[in-house]
């Protein structure tokens, strides 16, 4: 059975379109503080909780983004930078990667990791502090966009999708990885079982039980694969396809502008 990774947070969601569920469990500021607080242990927890499998899912997400040599690409809600580093390898020295997050602490961890990396092309990454619902980039700026375990944590998902659409070039792809809010009761039960018996106990060891307790509800309140496809089409993407991965515990939306 695939194990859960915690990219995590319990936070739930609330897109602006009335067609999509609202669930204002926490404010954007509370979420920002939460990600600042967990930054020092975030990477270790992800490896532990997913038995390293999050690395495979992230590679898949980057591959689905279609990023290639020389591209200018964006990793939204980049956290400590896992997807940005993978993108950096894809686009190479002639390309450019922007990793954007609203948590200063997460960006600081990302920047420290970058300094420890030996390959020259990793200098093609720039870290930007910003909000996914108000991107500081011009229209049609990027050749590809990724977002790993971010959208579930953004309060206004509809606005975030609109922004991704705005800053992406015609024909480019957006690849969004997160937990799968499965409509299959067996998958949903498995996720809950793992959260109760693995995730929360492990997070307690890091003093973060409270922070991870809401994960279960955040997944249930997240958009389903079908709703994510509808959201992408709603903001203007011409094509949207949701792939269930990791034993259907995870999912990846691929939308083409
Ligand atoms: C679960 S972490 C995922 C980090 C990374 N993408 C990964 O997969 O390891 C979610 C990240 O989203 C960021 N985030 C949440 N809402 C955001 C927003 N509105 N704007 C920018 N970043 C946001 C958090 O600060 C956090 O670093």
Q: What are the pLDDT digits (tens) for 32-82? A: 877 787 777 777 777 777 778 899 999 999 999 999 999 999 999 999 999
Question: What's the 186 CA to ligand 1 centre distance in angstroms?
Answer: 28
Q: Which range in 5-9, 18-22, 197-201, 231-235 is most confidently predicted, on average pLDDT?
A: 231-235
Mean confidence (pLDDT) of the chain: 87
Please say if the pLDDT value at position 89 is more than 90: yes
Q: What is the model's pLDDT at position 70? A: 97
Give the number of other CB atoms < 10 A from CB of residue 52: 12
Q: What is the tens place of the pLDDT at every residue in 196-231?
A: 888 888 888 877 777 777 788 889 999 999 999 999
| pLDDT computed for residue 1 by the predictor | 36
| Better-scored residue on pLDDT, 7 or 77 | 77
CA of 52 to the centre of ligand 1 (A): 19
Find, among 14, 3, 4, the residue nearest to 153 by Cα: 14
pLDDT at 3: 40
pLDDT-derived band at 10, boundaries 50, 70, 90: very low
| Strand-pair partners of 149 | none
Average of pLDDT values for 93-111?
A: 96
pLDDT grade for 26, boundaries at 50, 70 and 90: low
Q: Which residue has the higher pLDDT, 46 or 95?
A: 95
Which residue puts its alpha carbon closest to atom 12 of ligand 1? 77
Looking at the predicted structure, is the pLDDT value of residue 141 above 50? yes
Q: Which residue has the higher pLDDT, 10 or 184?
A: 184
Does the CB atom of residue 150 touch ligand 1 within 6 A?
Answer: yes
Domains of the chain: 28-179+223-256 (3.40.50.150)
Orientation of helix 28-50 relative to helix 54-65, angle to 10°? 120
CB atoms near residue 117 (< 10 Å): 14
Q: How many CA atoms lie within 13 A of 112 on its CB side?
A: 11
Phi, psi angle pair for 219, to nearest 5°: -70, -45
Torsion angles phi and psi, residue 189, rounded to 5: -65, -45
| Residue 103 alpha carbon, nearest atom of ligand 1 | 25
């Amino acid at each position: 059975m695939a194990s859960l990774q915690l990219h995590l947070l319990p936070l739930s969601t609330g897109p602006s379109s009335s067609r999509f569920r609202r669930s204002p469990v926490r404010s954007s500021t509370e979420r920002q503080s939460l990600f600042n607080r967990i930054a020092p242990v975030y990477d270790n927890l992800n490896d532990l909780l997913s038995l390293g499998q999050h690395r495979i899912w992230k590679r898949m997400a980057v591959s689905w983004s279609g990023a290639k040599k020389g591209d200018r690409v964006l990793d939204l809600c980049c956290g400590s930078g896992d997807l940005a580093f993978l993108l950096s390898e894809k686009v190479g020295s002639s390309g450019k990667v922007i990793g954007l997050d609203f948590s200063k602490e997460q960006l600081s961890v990302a920047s420290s990791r970058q300094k420890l990396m030996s390959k020259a092309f990793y200098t093609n990454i720039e870290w930007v502090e910003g909000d996914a619902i108000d991107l500081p980039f011009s229209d049609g700026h990027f050749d590809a966009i990724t977002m790993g375990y971010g959208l579930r944590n953004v309060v206004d998902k509809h606005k975030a999708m609109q922004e991704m659409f705005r800053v992406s070039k015609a024909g480019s792809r957006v690849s969004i990885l997160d937990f799968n809010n499965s409509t299959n009761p067996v998958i949903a039960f498995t996720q809950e079982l793992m959260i109760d018996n693995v995730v929360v106990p492990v997070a307690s060891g890091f003093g973060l039980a409270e922070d991870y307790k809401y994960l279960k509800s955040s997944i249930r309140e997240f958009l389903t694969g079908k709703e994510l496809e509808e959201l992408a089409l709603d903001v203007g993407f011409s094509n949207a396809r949701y792939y269930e991965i990791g034993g259907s515990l995870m999912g990846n939306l691929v939308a083409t502008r």
